[in-house]
Amino acid sequence: MKTLIILALLAVLMMAALCYESHESIESHEFTSPFINRRHANIFMRTPSEDRRDYYMRERIRERSKSPQELQRERCEEYIPCERYAMRHGYVAAYKRYFGARRGK
């Protein structure tokens, strides 16, 4: 009789553990059709207006604080002979050749 009670209790516990419906499994059955309209298709890509503003501000700050290598590269790209030399030897060598001596002034 003891073993029968233990087996019945074990069966109830296994049934509760295996047949539990979590919130995530219920979400997948919300839509009857696999297709959704265009407005809801990319909703996960949209950000709230505050996030857009923050992203814009961070991008502006990032533009103001560029690395020295990026500033050198942009300066070299604006000067055609430096850009041509950079295509063959690299931007570091081109910057040193055309603008390296002027830095000490």
Whole-angstrom Cα distance, residue 54 to residue 102? 38
Q: What pTM, to 2 d.p., does this model score?
A: 0.39
> Is residue 62 scored above 80 in pLDDT?
no
Mean pLDDT, the chain, integer: 76
Predicted confidence band at 59 (pLDDT cuts at 50, 70, 90)? confident
Task: Give the number of C-alpha atoms closer than 13 A to the C-alpha of residue 41, restricted to the C-beta side.
Answer: 6
Report the distance separating Cα 48 and Cα 16, nearest Å: 41
Q: Judge whether 101 and 82 are in contact, CB under 8 Å.
A: no
pLDDT value for 45: 60
Cα separation, 45 vs 55, in Å, equals 14
Please give the radius of gyration of the chain, using alpha carbons only, rounded to the nearest integer.
Answer: 32
Q: Closest Cα to residue 93, out of 82, 78, 105, 77?
A: 82
Number of Cβ within a 10 Å radius of residue 76: 22
Q: What integer pLDDT is reported at residue 81 of this predicted model? A: 92
- Residue 82 has what pLDDT? 92
Is the pLDDT at 21 greater than 70? The verdict is no
